[in-house]
Chain A
Amino acid sequence: MTALAVPAPRAKSRFLLDRPEIMGPLFIAPAILYVLVLVALPFLLAIYYAVSAYTIYDPTYRFIGLKNFTDVIASEVFRRTLINTLVFTIGAQVIGLLLGKFGAMLLMQEFRGRGLARALVVLPWAVPVSLATLAWQWMFDSLYSVINWTLIAVGLMDPAEPWQWLGQQDLAMIAVTVVHAWRLFPFGVVIFIAGFTSVPKDVLDAATIDGAGFWRRNYQIILPIIAPIIMIALIFGTVFTFTDLSVVYLLTRGGPMNGTQVLGSLAFQVGILSGDVAHGAVICLFLFPFLLVAVIFLLRMLRRREI
Chain B
Amino acid sequence: MAAVSTNDITKRFGDVPAVDGISLTARDGEFMVLLGPSGCGKTTLLRIIAGLEKPTSGEVLIDGEVVNDQPPRVRGIAMVFQSYGLYPHLTVWNNIAFPLRTQGMRRDEIKRKVAWAAGLLSIDHLAERRPRQLSGGERQRVALARALVRDPSVFLLDEPLSNLDAKLRASARSELKQFQKTVRTATIYVTHDQVEAMGMGDRIAVIDRGRLRQVGTPAEIYEQPADEFVASFLGTPPMNLIERDGGSLGFRPENFLPRELLNGAPVVEFPFRIERLEYLGSERILYGALDGRAAKREVTAKLPAHAALDGISPGAWHKFAVREKELRYFDRDGRSVRNPQGTPP
Chain A residues in the interface with B (C-beta under 8 A): 200, 202-203, 205-213, 216, 221, 224-225, 227, 307
Of A202, A208, A221, which contacts B84 at CB under 8 A? Answer: A202
Q: What band does the interface of chain B fall in when counting residues whose beta carbon is under 8 Å from A?
A: 20 to 34
Q: Can you list 10 pairs linking A and B with CB atoms under 8 Å apart?
A: A203-B88, A205-B52, A205-B85, A208-B72, A210-B73, A211-B73, A211-B99, A211-B102, A212-B98, A227-B89
Of B81, B99, B150, which contacts A205 at CB under 8 A? Answer: B81
Chain B stretch 100-126: residues in CB contact (< 8 A) with chain A:
102-103
Shortest beta-carbon distance, B148 to chain A, in Å?
Answer: 12
> Is B85 within 8 A of A208, CB to CB?
no
> Is A225 within 8 A of B83, CB to CB?
no
CA–CA, A102 and B212, complex, Å: 46
CA–CA, A205 and B84, complex, Å: 10
> Is A225 within 8 A of B88, CB to CB?
yes
Complex interface: chain A residues within 8 A of B98 (CB): 207, 210, 212
Q: Which residue of A lies closest to B150 (CB)?
A: A210
> Is B103 within 8 A of A211, CB to CB?
yes
Shortest beta-carbon distance, B85 to chain A, in Å?
Answer: 3
| Top 6 closest pairs, chain A to chain B, by CB | A202-B85, A206-B85, A211-B73, A211-B102, A210-B99, A202-B81
> Is B87 within 8 A of A212, CB to CB?
no
> Is A208 within 8 A of B99, CB to CB?
no
> Is A209 within 8 A of B102, CB to CB?
no
CA–CA, A203 and B52, complex, Å: 13
Complex interface: chain B residues within 8 A of A209 (CB): 50-52, 72-73, 77-79, 99
Shortest beta-carbon distance, B70 to chain A, in Å?
Answer: 12
CA–CA, A47 and B88, complex, Å: 45
B162 interfacial contact with A, CB 8 Å: no
Complex interface: chain A residues within 8 A of B51 (CB): 209
Complex interface: chain B residues within 8 A of A227 (CB): 89
> Is B85 within 8 A of A200, CB to CB?
yes
> Is A212 within 8 A of B102, CB to CB?
yes
> Is B89 within 8 A of A225, CB to CB?
yes
Q: Which residue of B lies closest to A306 (CB)?
A: B132
Given A208-B52, A208-B72, are A202 and B103 neighbors across the interface (CB < 8 Å)?
A: no
Complex interface: chain A residues within 8 A of B81 (CB): 202, 205-206
CA–CA, A216 and B101, complex, Å: 11
CA–CA, A227 and B72, complex, Å: 27
Complex interface: chain B residues within 8 A of A216 (CB): 102
CA–CA, A307 and B77, complex, Å: 28
Complex interface: chain B residues within 8 A of A211 (CB): 72-73, 99, 102-103
B207 interfacial contact with A, CB 8 Å: no
B11 interfacial contact with A, CB 8 Å: no
CA–CA, A214 and B325, complex, Å: 59
Q: Which residue of B lies closest to A224 (CB)?
A: B89
Q: Mark B47-61, 1 if CB is under 8 A from A, else 0.
A: 000111000000000
Complex interface: chain A residues within 8 A of B83 (CB): 200, 202
Complex interface: chain A residues within 8 A of B73 (CB): 208-211
CA–CA, A213 and B99, complex, Å: 11
CA–CA, A227 and B89, complex, Å: 10
CA–CA, A227 and B73, complex, Å: 27
CA–CA, A225 and B102, complex, Å: 18
B42 interfacial contact with A, CB 8 Å: no
CA–CA, A294 and B73, complex, Å: 43
Complex interface: chain B residues within 8 A of A210 (CB): 73, 98-99, 102, 146, 150
Complex interface: chain A residues within 8 A of B82 (CB): 202
> Is A307 within 8 A of B85, CB to CB?
no
Shortest beta-carbon distance, B142 to chain A, in Å?
Answer: 11
Shortest beta-carbon distance, B87 to chain A, in Å?
Answer: 6
> Is A307 within 8 A of B132, CB to CB?
yes
Q: Mark B85-99, 1 if CB is under 8 A from A, else 0.
A: 111110000000011
CA–CA, A225 and B132, complex, Å: 13
CA–CA, A225 and B90, complex, Å: 10
Chain B stretch 241-296: residues in CB contact (< 8 A) with chain A:
none
Among A211, A213, A227, residue most surrounded by chain B Cβ atoms (within 10 Å)? A211
CA–CA, A209 and B47, complex, Å: 11
Of B50, B71, B86, B150, which contacts A203 at CB under 8 A? Answer: B86
Q: Which residue of A lies closest to B52 (CB)?
A: A205
Starting from the known contacts A202-B85, A211-B73, A227-B89, 12 additional A-B residue pairs (CB-CB under 8 Å) come to A202-B81, A202-B82, A206-B85, A206-B146, A207-B98, A209-B51, A209-B72, A210-B146, A211-B72, A211-B103, A213-B102, A307-B89
CA–CA, A200 and B103, complex, Å: 24
Complex interface: chain B residues within 8 A of A208 (CB): 52, 71-73
CA–CA, A18 and B48, complex, Å: 59
